[in-house]
Amino acid sequence: MGRPQSTPVITGRRSAHLPRGSAAGTLGFDPAPDPGLKNALCKAIEPEVFYPERRDHRTAALAQEICTHCPVIEACLAGALTDEGGASHRRRFGIRGGASPKERYEIHQRTTASSKEAAA
Ligand code: SF4
């Protein structure tokens, strides 16, 4: 008999555009900093969902599932990649644009390598 599956509860409100001085701002991250992302689904969800603990893969998967339904996922991911530049995956935080820090790092590495090949 397997472990019972419980459904994660999403409560409260979060803002993808948290004002400066908010808890997220204090921690140095802002999941969807572009104020143009008005339709961001994560605005109505607790921020903890998008910033799970390092080994909390279940919550991370939930955030990524939510992102797949978000109408601004492409803009969100592009903004995250721009904000994070060449930072290592350990210097990237949270689920943004449907991607984990490691996935965004890998996307950055691939696009950088492609750009270098095209320029050569
Ligand atoms: S793609 Fe995800 S993190 Fe980005 S705005 Fe949408 S729900 Fe938020």
What residue ranges do the domains of the chain occupy?
23-119
Q: What is the 67 CA–ligand 1 centroid distance (Å)?
A: 5
**Contact criterion met (CB below 8 Å) for 57 and 41:** no
For ligand 1, say whether the CB of 62 is within 6 Å of any of its atoms.
no
Q: Which one, of 62, 33, 70, 57, lies nearest residue 46 by Cα?
A: 62
3-class state of residue 45 by DSSP:
coil
For 50-90, what is each residue's pLDDT tens digit?
Answer: 999 989 999 999 999 999 999 999 999 999 999 999 999 89
For 2-58, what is each residue's pLDDT tens digit?
Answer: 444 444 444 433 444 333 344 444 444 455 556 678 889 998 888 889 999 989 999
Q: What are the tokens at 4? A: 């019972």
Q: What is the 115 CA–ligand 1 centroid distance (Å)?
A: 26
Question: Which residue's C-alpha comes closest to atom 5 of ligand 1?
Answer: 40
**Contact criterion met (CB below 8 Å) for 75 and 39:** no
Q: Is the dihedral of CA 80, 28, 16, 62 positive or negative?
A: positive
Note the Cα 98 to chain centre separation in Å: 6
Question: Which of 7-11, 103-107, 108-112, 114-118 comes out lowest in average pLDDT?
Answer: 7-11
